[in-house]
């Protein structure tokens, strides 16, 4: 029996991934699986550039818009959902998105770290804010020296991640990382594609796409999310455009200032994605300009 093909399509925001995946899915009678950490959330339809309803009607799409914005959705949870699709759908699958850690988890396995209680997360966020990353880094050196060696003393988010894991589980992050799961597919035909258009092309698309988002009601999405009263630290609240537009709703900035700030933040995010993909994905990923 011929093996099905699993296609992975990674790339920065506004690189044309969704259109590329749709065309490929139509040509190969495949289904599409989301690999973007923001497109999993309901409410965030426009602001995350989720595939349109028309496109989703053409080809089955999975793991889009199915998580409530008040949920802490992790890479581990996504991997479990993705593996369920791998096991229950026999058609060719196309995983598409810009979240590099999702692709790393699929292809290399993932450390199965237990969920961290919100109260512990908040405690370490407060410590980072009040004590600074250098103080917490010195603490981490005494608790989990292997992880500390890999981090900068300015990398506050990763430092508190290691500390909260230790407090919640009684075991170090390096311990959990040594107990990775197996890759999600070891006996499949896997095609790995990395979309890397010219940076200026990506930036131009970002400009036009964000203007279109505003026309289509992105501000209303921010308003709907704001009404839920979620903490700014929740992942869904960090989607580019949401903090900027909430500032508009609160009277802290003009709509034009928010749009320009969101465009700038999106360009910076795309640049970080391109750098990450180039350095973190292996040579077996075919680069597509």
Give the number of other CB atoms < 10 A from CB of residue 252: 11
For residue 132, say whether it is annotated as part of any ligand binding site: no
For residue 11, say whether it is annotated as part of any ligand binding site: yes
For residue 14, say whether it is annotated as part of any ligand binding site: yes
HEC profile for 169-220?
HCCCHHHHHCCECCCCCCCCEEEEEEECCCHHHHHHHHHHHHHHHHHHCHHH
| Residue that has been written with the tokens 């053409």 in this structure | 58
For residue 16, say whether it is annotated as part of any ligand binding site: yes
For residue 238, say whether it is annotated as part of any ligand binding site: no
| Residue that has been written with the tokens 């889009």 in this structure | 64
Q: Are 244 and 233 in contact (CB under 8 A)?
A: no
Give the number of other CB atoms < 10 A from CB of residue 80: 13
For residue 100, say whether it is annotated as part of any ligand binding site: no
Binding-site entries: 11-18
Binding-site entries for substrate: 13-18
Binding-site entries for ATP: 11-18
């Amino acid at each position: 029996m011929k093996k099905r093909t699993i296609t992975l399509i990674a790339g920065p925001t506004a690189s044309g991934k969704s259109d590329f995946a749709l065309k490929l899915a139509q040509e190969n009678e495949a289904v599409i699986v989301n690999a973007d950490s923001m497109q999993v959330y309901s409410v965030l339809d426009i602001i995350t550039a989720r595939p349109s309803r028309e496109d989703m009607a053409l080809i089955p799409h999975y793991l889009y818009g199915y998580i409530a914005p008040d949920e802490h959705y992790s890479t581990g949870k996504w991997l479990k959902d993705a593996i369920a699709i791998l096991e229950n759908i026999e058609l060719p699958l196309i995983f598409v998105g810009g979240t590099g850690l999702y692709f790393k988890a699929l292809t290399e396995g993932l450390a199965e770290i237990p969920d961290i209680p919100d109260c512990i997360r908040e405690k370490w966020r407060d410590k980072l804010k009040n004590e600074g990353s250098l103080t917490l880094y010195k603490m981490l050196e005494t608790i989990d020296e292997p992880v500390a060696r890999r981090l900068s003393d300015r990398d506050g988010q990763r430092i508190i991640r290691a500390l909260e894991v230790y407090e919640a589980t009684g075991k170090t992050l390096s311990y959990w990382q040594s107990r990775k799961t197996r890759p999600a597919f070891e006996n499949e035909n896997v095609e790995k594609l990395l979309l890397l258009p010219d940076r200026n092309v990506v930036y131009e698309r970002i400009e036009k796409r964000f203007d279109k988002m505003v026309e289509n009601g992105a501000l209303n999405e921010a308003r709907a999310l704001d009404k839920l009263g979620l903490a700014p630290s929740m992942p869904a609240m960090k989607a580019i455009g949401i903090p900027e537009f909430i500032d508009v709703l609160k009277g802290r900035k003009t709509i034009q200032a928010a749009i320009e700030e969101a465009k700038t933040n999106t360009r910076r995010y795309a640049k970080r994605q391109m750098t990450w993909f180039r350095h973190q994905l292996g040579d077996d990923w075919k680069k597509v300009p």
